[in-house]
Amino acid sequence: MKIGIIGLGDIARKAYLPVLTQWPDLELVFCTRNEDTLQQLARTHRIQDAVTDYRGLVAQGVDGVMIHSATSSHFDIARFFLNQGIAVFVDKPLTDNYEQCETLYELAEEKQCPLFLGFNRRYLPLIKPYLSDASVTEGKKLLGLKWQKHRLNLPGDTRTFVFDDFIHALDSVNLSGQVSENDLHIVTQSHQGKLARLDVEWQLDGVIFQASMNRLNGVTAEQVTINYENLTCHFDSLATGKQWNEGREQALVLPDWTPMLDSKGFTAMTAHWLEVVASGKMEASLVTRNLNTHYLAEVICQKVKL
């Protein structure tokens, strides 16, 4: 299988290349506009083929492409490869405009070509077992899910705040992918004319879902709390946690020597993506959730008034 990697910035180098370059039977083609960066990384990772123009990947015979470039470029690049019938992976967000998201998924449907989104938190090995069945764990009913993703001193533009960052927390609690804009309760705080805090909550089938981001937090941090009937799980930084079941406490940890990118979900997500490329198909439920998360992000942007 041959995969083109478009955009070789920080996230690609830290989160994806260490996984992809070790994957068996996978051939990579690098693509970035910066010739020096392209040649340097190609040498470092022993990549034979590299191009500066993403359109040149078609001639390389790639089976799929992974887009890690700036959000503003996602729409044009994804549309180009979908029109070529080539499977596409896009780092979240797909775009920062819901109308464009719909357009791309309509094109993917027309071309019968997978359009996969990179939400690594869906694959966290420590947390996923507690959310695989969103109704019952150990015979207990789910009552609430709260995902907090906070940053230090980083208020920002509403659309960038929501689509480029808050969307992680939003998608992580959007388990059903079927939330209506009328379900949302939105609370905000601003700081010097910029969005500083955003809390979004809804209730679905009796379960309370909460996504929160404070960009004036004392420290960059991420916490997840899952409540079942008399059972609570709390995770810090997605790598360690505790469970309290009927008053009994238990530490939740991954096995020793679990690689960092495994613990952050990138390895499992990559495996899923490559399965999609190989089969040429993606689950309809994934499309539904991807669109619904971006739809909710658009609704939030429209409703937030600083």
**pLDDT reported for residue 239:** 84
Rounded to two decimals, the pTM is 0.95
Residue-wise pLDDT for 203-252, tens only, equals 999 999 999 999 999 999 999 999 999 999 999 988 899 999 999 999 99
Query: Cβ(27)–Cβ(277) under 8 Å?
Result: no
Query: Cβ(141)–Cβ(263) under 8 Å?
Result: no
Task: Report CA 105 to chain centroid distance, whole Å.
Answer: 17
Between CA 177 and CA 181, with CA 180 as vertex, the angle to 5 degrees is 125
6 beta partners: 31, 67
**Which tokens sit at 86?**
């080539």
Is pLDDT of 138 > 80? no
Higher pLDDT among residues 83 and 136, named by residue = 83
**pLDDT reported for residue 132:** 75
